[in-house]
Amino acid sequence: MDNEVITGSSVAHGHAADCCDSSAPRKSHHSEQMKDNLTKRLNRIEGQIRGVKAMIEKDTYCDDVLNQIAAAQSALNSVGKLLLEGHLKSCVVERIQAGESEVIDELLVTVNKLMK
């Protein structure tokens, strides 16, 4: 897995209405570069998971399988961190600026899920 990191400056910042209008379905507003990066990472993770399944089917030594699982979990955590960074720098900021302080509670629930 490469170490390319897309920083928050690469996240497209749309209008507050994109994620803050409570009457509209909520959507993210990632740049095409960010979407491409996330998709590539997820495709790689998908391949890793298929590899783990194949290792189990081939009775690969448990420690080797566990190491591959750890690598896949780490890669998935990296995707989560990128999404969280973009979410904080765009949607959360915009919703707070729009007076929607409940976004903090929503964020805390999400962070708690990510940290399990």
Model confidence at 23, in pLDDT bands (50, 70, 90)? low
| Number of independent structural domains in the chain | 1
> 5 in a domain, yes or no?
no
Burial class for 14, CB neighbours closer than 10 Å (0-12, 13-18, 19+): middle
Distance CA 53, CA 95 (A): 41
Residues of the domain holding 82: 30-114
- What type of residue is 6? I
Residue keyed to tokens 């390319």: 4
> 15 in a domain, yes or no?
no
pLDDT of the residue at 84: 95
Q: Is the pLDDT of residue 72 over 70?
A: yes
For the residues 58-83, what does the mean pLDDT come to? 97
- What type of residue is 50? R
Model confidence at 86, in pLDDT bands (50, 70, 90)? very high
- What type of residue is 116? K
Q: ∠ at Cα 76 (74, 81), nearest 5°? A: 90
CATH value at residue 55:
1.20.58.1000
Instruction: Report the share of the chain in percent with pLDDT over 90.
Output: 72
Q: Is the pLDDT of residue 22 over 60?
A: no
For the chain, strand residue ranges (E) read: none
pLDDT of the residue at 24: 62
